[in-house]
Amino acid sequence: MRPRDVLYTNRRLVETLLHVKAEFRQDDERALLIAPQPHAAGGIGGGTTPVFFGGTVITLPDFHPVRTLERIEQESITYLLAVPAMLQAMMSADPSRFDTDSLEVLVSFGSPLSADLAHRVAEAFDPDYFGNHMGATEIAWYLTRDVTADLDAATSPGTAAINVETRVVKLDENGEAGGPDDRCESGETGELIANTPYGMDRYFNRAEATNEAFRDGWYYTGDLGHLDEDGRFRPEGRKTNMIISGGINVSDVNVERILGEHPAVVDVAVVGVPDEKWGERVVASVTRESDSSLTEAELLEWCRERDDLADFQRPKAVEFVDELPRSATGKVQKFKIEKRITS
């Protein structure tokens, strides 16, 4: 699918900037811009908002964990937005070697944040505000949460942001989401939808795509998940990434979360590849710690020993790679992994 040009009106843009300031508690920040700027998080949350409210933005030509930590120390950075893969790389670079005491606001976005990574980041930087946020360039942030007080629950991006209403709606047998009033019960998997005053006016010259994305004023995010007993959204992946093996839905995000708990696993992506017997089989693409000798057999055995991985969820194969392919916005490009494995 080719990229869609997202149009903001001036009013919508200002409302979104006010929204970001309120959520992130910004006050004359010194921001380090490492988040991709084509994404709303980088272009609006990381760059435009601090400048709009009188702050300072320092940029880097590209992301490098050591240079990022050096710049935090040198420029007394107070505000940083980063995807989990960036945070993981910064942890591997040993942030204790740098003075990062100035960092007050740290926001994770773009992909799921594991509890293990949240603990390590919080211990390393000790920010006043540590956010796990979920959003889209189309409508800015729609789920938001300060995870500082409950790092073990950091995998959830929380509840609706200020002035935003969210719901999880039921899916039919074809995986299509129902209307805004067709809500899921607690614990039931569905698609997350959001009603918000923030974000875009429309897609540029793509009226049909705009009508598909919005129904009765609700934006259909494509994010699958469920609400827990506390009303927090628990992501289970994207509709387009759901794996169907033997007629059973397998959440790629859940499998990735569990594999990510192995001490030698740095980064992981799980995909479904064609299988004559099961329709699709689960395959994991993994990056290891640089000094690790972890083998495919060892990791598969570790998976078999996990009580929280059913047999149909367990990877049938593992490939080890130096790094996972990512887009300019930091998201793993799973279609490239699938193409490489199937070819």
**What distance in Å separates the CA atoms of residue 91 and residue 66, rounded to the nearest whole number?**
10
Residues 18 and 135 both lie in one domain: yes
Give residue 66's pLDDT: 97
- For residue 125, give the nearest of 145, 140, 106 by alpha carbon: 106
The residue out of 157, 173, 208 marking a domain boundary is 157
Residues 30 and 45 both lie in one domain: yes
Residues 211 and 318 both lie in one domain: no
Give residue 297's pLDDT: 95
Calculate ∠ Cα 60-69-83, nearest 5°: 70
Domain that includes residue 213, residue range: 165-238
Residues 249 and 275 both lie in one domain: yes
In a domain, 1, yes or no: no
Neighbours of 114 (CB within 10 A): 18
Which CATH number characterizes residue 265's domain? 3.30.300.30
Residue pLDDT tens, the chain, 343 long: 456 788 888 998 888 888 888 877 666 688 888 876 666 777 788 888 888 888 899 999 888 999 999 999 999 999 999 988 889 899 999 999 999 999 999 999 877 888 889 999 999 999 999 988 888 888 887 787 788 878 887 788 888 888 899 999 998 877 789 999 999 999 999 999 999 888 888 888 888 888 888 999 899 998 889 999 888 898 887 887 888 887 777 888 889 989 999 999 999 999 999 887 788 899 999 999 989 999 999 999 999 999 888 888 999 999 999 999 987 767 888 989 998 998 7
List Cα–Cα distances, 217 to 9, 195, 211, 238, 285, in angstroms: 17, 6, 10, 21, 38
Give residue 101's pLDDT: 96
Residues 228 and 256 both lie in one domain: no
In a domain, 63, yes or no: yes
Residues 18 and 120 both lie in one domain: yes
The residue out of 223, 238, 253 marking a domain boundary is 238
Give residue 26's pLDDT: 60
* 15 close to 198: Cβ distance less than 8 angstroms: yes
Q: How many separate domains does the chain show? A: 3
Which CATH number characterizes residue 111's domain? 3.40.50.980
Residues 153 and 177 both lie in one domain: no
Residues 36 and 152 both lie in one domain: yes
**What distance in Å separates the CA atoms of residue 128 and residue 104, rounded to the nearest whole number?**
5
Give residue 139's pLDDT: 84
Residues 93 and 214 both lie in one domain: no
Residues 74 and 170 both lie in one domain: no
Residues 220 and 256 both lie in one domain: no
**What distance in Å separates the CA atoms of residue 168 and residue 145, rounded to the nearest whole number?**
18
Residues 199 and 296 both lie in one domain: no
The residue out of 238, 271, 286 marking a domain boundary is 238
**What distance in Å separates the CA atoms of residue 226 and residue 188, rounded to the nearest whole number?**
5
Give residue 259's pLDDT: 94
